Copies of this chain bind each other. A is one copy, B any other.
Amino acid sequence: MTDAAVRPKKPATNKRTPAGGAPTAAHSAAEAHEARIDVDTVTDLLLGTWGDVRLEARELIKDPAFWRIEGQPMAEHRERTLGQLRLLVENNGSRRAFPKEYGGLENSGGNLAGFMDLVLADPSLQIKSGVQWGLFGSAIYQLGTKAHHDRWLRDVIELDLPGAFAMTETGHGSDVAAIGTTATYDPETEEFVIHTPFRGAWKDYLGNAALHGKAATVFAQLITGGVNYGVHCFFVPLRDDDGAFLPGIGGEDDGVKGGLNGIDNGRLHFDHVRIPRFNLLNRYGDVAADGSYSSEISSPGRRFFTMLGALVQGRVSLDGAATTGTALALYIALTYAGQRRQFDSGSGSDEVVLLDYGKHQRRLLPLLAQNYAQFFANDELLRKFDAVFSGRNDTAEEREDLETLAAALKPLSTWNALDTIQECREACGGSGFLAENRLVGLHQDLDVYVTFEGDNNVLLQLVGKRLLADFAKQFKGADAAKLASFAARQTAGKVFHGAGLRQFGQAVADFGSTARSVELGLRADQQHDLLAGRVQQMVEDIAGRLRAASKASPADAAAIFNANQAELIEAARAHAELLQWEAFTDGLTAVEDDGTLQVLTWLRDLFGLSLIEKHLAWHLIHGRLSTQRAASVSKYIDRLCLRLRPHAQDLVDGYGFAPEHVRAPIASGAEQARQDEARAYFAALAASDDAPVSEKSLKKK
């Protein structure tokens, strides 16, 4: 059982300093006699644009009814999660994304902001509500038209119509365009016939499919008049009021998964199931009674991507949920690291607090910096999402940018989540392996975030292709001489800063607080140059190599692309890292408090330099850093870690979690109580006459 209420939200920081000990760094901001952050300011900053909605959601999930019960058997967990969704409905948690006329609140950005933080209660709750309202409901809303909204949206919002989002098949996940399920129009009866012709075409991994779904939004190849018009979405009733499958429909339970076992994932298959023509969600493509097809978007490819793009919110919210889940892990591990002791210091008096170890700082603090960057980047993503989906700034170009941004950020934040949670788990040793301390559960639940809603590598490849396309635009219409001169400059290895790559080169303000980094020539400007220069050069290099493919046979062209695939993905990752760094840096402009700005600037520097260190070989090979300068990067990171160490607790307190969000006993006072008790015992023993002398001390005599 957790004892969530033990740790007060903001203990006086000077209480954290132990009585004895020979710390190698200041333990707390108070001890450090330096600039310190204003925790409330940082909380506001991290909560971002829709902080009010997030606080509302966090307040709601203080109710233990929303908390994950560790080790709960799958069947019970699934029912519990369904019940939690009903509680959400009662508390308006299902309404934010939808139009007011159906009971909605019309707050696109706020919807995702509030939704993300459900991860603190139970990731199964977050993802099952994502299935119901973010995918199933969203498909009806975004891909259907008013008649569909009128018929279904209210029931979706109220959870009277729980549904599955039946896009993925066993045989096709990333390549949605190639799914095998067909929807063949029959003009005789004005019906579509939904059919899964082979096992690989079964819909798979669908939340709400195994038990609770009464209907599904089914993606299928639309065939009418002997022509396949590509993937469209159809509303298909699944189960009768008793929960039995309707005729022609069957399914299987996906069974136990690596995590998220509160969700009833399953498979569905369809044997010539007939649905009315009305059930085609026809916003982007329609079939008339006579079977003739029409669409406002004539290009089949563009139409397909427009439909998929309408569902981008899944990726946006996963980016945020992964960021929040990572923050929770860091809160737990860093709080524990500030209280737990192990091994005496070698200098005598007391055991060393974990976070005073150089290695412990090195393993956790760069991850903290990275997580802060993710908060700022996610808020930018949310704002872009809200601008598009509120209609305020809904252009094809903005949509494309939004999709690229989501495809860039979601992979990094979800991978970072797993890496960080695992490092936090290990940093807590055996207690980190106990379910009650939450780290293992977080890892298990967030594991699939890296491959669902777009496999991370596939998403980054999309981003990479976009980078290549943007790069190619620079040379549109350029003559051979210009290209040759460009190529010559590249061969010379000259850095190409300039026009046409503005997306890399946002203006960066420097905040004058980086005196230490200035001495090493790695202040904000230089960090940006290195990070941006790397993206640029990688894209240029790949583009140069791919140019050969344009004249090659299809097979050879595919082989050339394939030979560059891993590096293209790496370039996209570099681009996403740059975006995170820029978001962090831009976020600092809002900080007015000097101490806060100082500490956060160190943290941003730690993020930037950690990225540079990670890719140090690249910067050396490409002559961006001298070996001497490169060698200093790691040393400077060490120094930043030591400098940030006293602020670690303040920085995780800045996440603004309440005890009901944390719930891990080791970060809720249990460890500190044990340390205090042990120290009191030894102090009393030493003061008594009963203390045994050590054999060693005898031998010295």
Binding site for B on A (CB under 8 A): 22, 24, 70-71, 73-74, 168, 170-175, 178, 180, 197-201, 204-205, 221, 223, 226-230, 254-259, 261, 293, 298, 300-301, 342-348, 351, 356-359, 362, 418, 422, 425-426, 429-436, 439-441, 443-444, 447-448, 450-452, 455-457, 461, 553-555, 557-559, 561-566, 569, 613, 616-617, 620-621, 623, 627, 630-631, 638, 673-675, 677-678, 681, 692-696, 698-699
Contact = CB atoms under 8 A, between A and B. Distances in A.
A329 to B, nearest CB: 13
A200 B674 contact: yes
B695 A347 contact: no
- Copies of this chain, complex-wide, total 2
B345 A558 contact: yes
A510 to B, nearest CB: 26
Contacts of A418: 422
A621 B558 CA distance: 36
A257 B692 contact: no
A416 to B, nearest CB: 13
A563 B433 contact: no
Given A199-B673, A199-B677, 19 more contacts: A170-B431, A175-B342, A175-B343, A198-B674, A198-B677, A223-B692, A227-B695, A257-B434, A257-B440, A300-B694, A347-B553, A348-B554, A418-B422, A426-B450, A426-B456, A440-B447, A620-B627, A621-B630, A621-B631
Contact of A230 (B171, B348, B695): B695
A345 to B, nearest CB: 5
B621 A627 contact: yes
Given A422-B418, A452-B430, A681-B198, A258 B435 contact: yes
Contact of A351 (B178, B256, B557): B178
B358 A565 contact: yes
Find the residue from A227, A426, A675 having the highest chain B CB count within 10 A: A426
Contact of A617 (B175, B452, B630): B630
B565 A228 contact: no
Contacts of A422: 418, 447
Contact of A256 (B70, B221, B300, B693): B70
Question: Which label, helix, strand, loop or mixed, suits the secondary structure of the A interface?
Answer: helix
A70 B255 CA distance: 9
B440 A455 contact: no
A357 B565 contact: yes
Contacts of A300: 694-696, 699
B357 A562 contact: yes
Contacts of A564: 358
A228 B681 contact: no
A173 B205 CA distance: 40
A641 to B, nearest CB: 9
A23 to B, nearest CB: 9
A135 to B, nearest CB: 15
Contacts of A448: 430, 433
A347 B223 contact: no
B440 A444 contact: yes
A294 to B, nearest CB: 12
Contact of A433 (B172, B258, B439): B258
A420 to B, nearest CB: 13
Contact of A168 (B430, B613, B695): B430
A565 B342 contact: no
B258 A695 contact: no
Contacts of A432: 451
A292 to B, nearest CB: 13
A293 B694 CA distance: 13
18 contacts: A22-B554, A70-B255, A73-B73, A173-B429, A197-B681, A198-B678, A199-B674, A226-B692, A227-B694, A227-B698, A228-B693, A230-B694, A258-B433, A300-B699, A357-B562, A362-B566, A443-B447, A616-B617
Nearest to A254: B434
Contacts of A616: 617, 621
B674 A356 contact: no
